[in-house]
Amino acid sequence: MTTTLAAPATALSAPRHDLRGIRDDFPILRNSTDANGRPLTFLDSAASSQKPEVVLAAMDDYYRTANANIHRGVYRLSEEATGRYERARQTVAAFIGAPMARECVFVRNTTEAINLVAMTWGRRNIGPGDLIVLTVMEHHANLVPWQVLAEERGAELAFVRMTT
């Protein structure tokens, strides 16, 4: 199998983003500073992502008007919540180009997602002698599941060094 990677963005081809405008969409970034009084830089989004205004508004609306279990009830609120959930799944699928909405699975955070992949797909597909390649810069939450899987399955971990 051949894998082709897109050329990296250069200064000439990289899209331009209004970073101040993006920051302003996030109330916590707009209203918080670090210990030195500088604008907050939040680097733990894989575990606890900050939410922009539009997400907070949608969450507030949901909890005020449609909070119910999905795919379980035959009462109006449950059916409405299920509809919202499935429409969100379709929106995400279209946004990321997934062929089918059912391929999109919602989890609480990246840590949970990595654990699910390692402990389901990994246990089915990784075996003795296989090589699991990570970078030396991995967050602990991405390292541990692969360490556990490698030990369980007799695979080997390899680490790619980062260069500047």
pLDDT in tens, 6-31: 444 454 555 677 777 888 999 999 88
- 152 with 114, same domain: the answer is yes
For the entire predicted model, the pTM comes to 0.67
Mean pLDDT of all residues in 28-41: 89
Task: Give residue-wise pLDDT tens across range 105-154.
Answer: 999 888 999 999 999 999 999 999 999 999 999 889 999 999 999 999 99
Which of the listed residues 64, 79, 103 is the one where a domain comes to its end? 103
What pLDDT, in 10s, does the model give residues 77-112? 999 999 999 999 999 999 999 999 999 999 988 899
Give the type of residue at 145: P
Domain membership of residue 41 (yes or no) is yes
Report helix, strand or coil for 126.
coil
* Domain final residue, candidates 63, 81, 103: 103
- Cβ contacts of residue 81 below 8 Å, gap of 6+? 62, 66, 67, 68, 69, 70
In a shared domain, residues 76 and 123: no
| 25 and 77 housed in the same domain | yes
Q: Are residues 155 and 117 in the same domain?
A: yes
Residues 125 and 76 in one domain: no
pLDDT value for 46? 74
Provide the number of structural domains found in the chain.
2
DSSP string, 13-41: TSPP--HHHHHHT-HHHHH-B-TTSSBP-
The answer to whether position 63 is within a domain reads yes
**94 with 129, same domain?**
no
Between 18 and 4, residue with greater pLDDT: 18
The verdict on residue 10 lying in a domain is no
Any domain includes 4: no
Please check whether residues 43 and 82 belong to one and the same domain: yes
Residues with Cβ within 8 Å of residue 99, at least 6 apart in sequence: 93
- pLDDT of 3 higher than 50: no
The whole-number pLDDT of residue 146 equals 98
CA dihedral (49, 51, 52, 55) in degrees, to 10, reads 130
Identify whether 5 is part of a domain. no
Domain end marker among 77, 103, 129: 103
Among 80, 42, 41, 46, smallest CA distance to 63 is for 80
Which range marks the domain in which residue 150 is found?
Answer: 110-160
Which pair of structure tokens corresponds to residue 147? 């360490």
